[in-house]
Amino acid sequence: MTERSATAATTAAGTPVRLWDLPVRLVHWSFVIGIGLLWWSAENHRLDLHFKVGLVMLGLVVFRLLWGLVGSSTARFSAFVKGPAAIRAYLAGQKSGSGEHVVGHNPLGALSVLALLGLLALQIGLGLFAQDTDAVNSGPLNFLVGYDLAKDISEIHEAMFNVILAVVGLHIAAILYYRFIKNDNLVSPMISGRRVFASAVAAPRIAPLWLALICAIVAAAIAVWVSWGLPPFATPFSWDRPAAAVPDASSYM
């Protein structure tokens, strides 16, 4: 099943508009679940699960970056990442009540999206080189750095998660502000994908799901490649590595 591309036709006021495509919604809620699992696994010393979820999150971040380049119009960075002038104009319009309806992320909300994606990318990148206190469990690229540097990276990795939680808290606070102060429900459209606007708006262009599938395959391939240690540049492929030697029983005598 594929999504049909939507035209830029104007949608009448009061008509549900397809705002967020399925890939954006799946990635959004996967981030929510993934961050929770990363916290829980770290707190309970389930590092095996922690590393697996981290690699899944790596694939999700790569996918979101790719989808931000070729995906639906509301998912593309070029559509919602604006400069300081656009942010000031948006805030002025909100203050005076004369601002137009924004279809997708508003210029201020774009900063939250970029902050969360950037922090997640940095956190995941640090985790690839991190190791536990005893150097028993480590990220797939830990072998590229020395013990002392890996230890420092691990400490930054742990502290960075608190920064992510703070940004997530601000994100939730903004959602609650829009919901109860401005009477604007931002959660429902991220679940259903549709939103009703009080005035006529241009319908977003929805990218086909086959394009999302290609992006997902590329993102998954990159995550697997990283989990293997970046062969052939850093390590051999798993099928080219020598088999581990099986110790002879006499060696235990």
How far is the CA of 221 from the CAs of 35, 88, 230, in angstroms?
A: 22, 40, 11
The whole-number pLDDT of residue 99 equals 63
On whether the CB atoms of residues 138 and 165 are closer than 8 A, the answer is no
The whole-number pLDDT of residue 252 equals 43
pLDDT in tens, 64-85: 999 999 999 999 999 999 989 9
Tokens at residue 214, please?
């290609």
Q: How far apart are CA 206 and CA 204, in angstroms?
A: 6
CA count, 13 A, side-chain hemisphere, 134 = 4
The fold of 10-252 is: Fumarate Reductase Cytochrome B subunit (1.20.950)
The whole-number pLDDT of residue 246 equals 57
Whether cis (ω within 30° of 0) applies to the bond prior to 232 is yes
Domain ranges of the chain: 10-252
The whole-number pLDDT of residue 166 equals 95
Name residues of the chain where pLDDT drops below 50: 1-7, 252-253
pTM of the model: 0.89
Residue with tokens 């002038």: 85
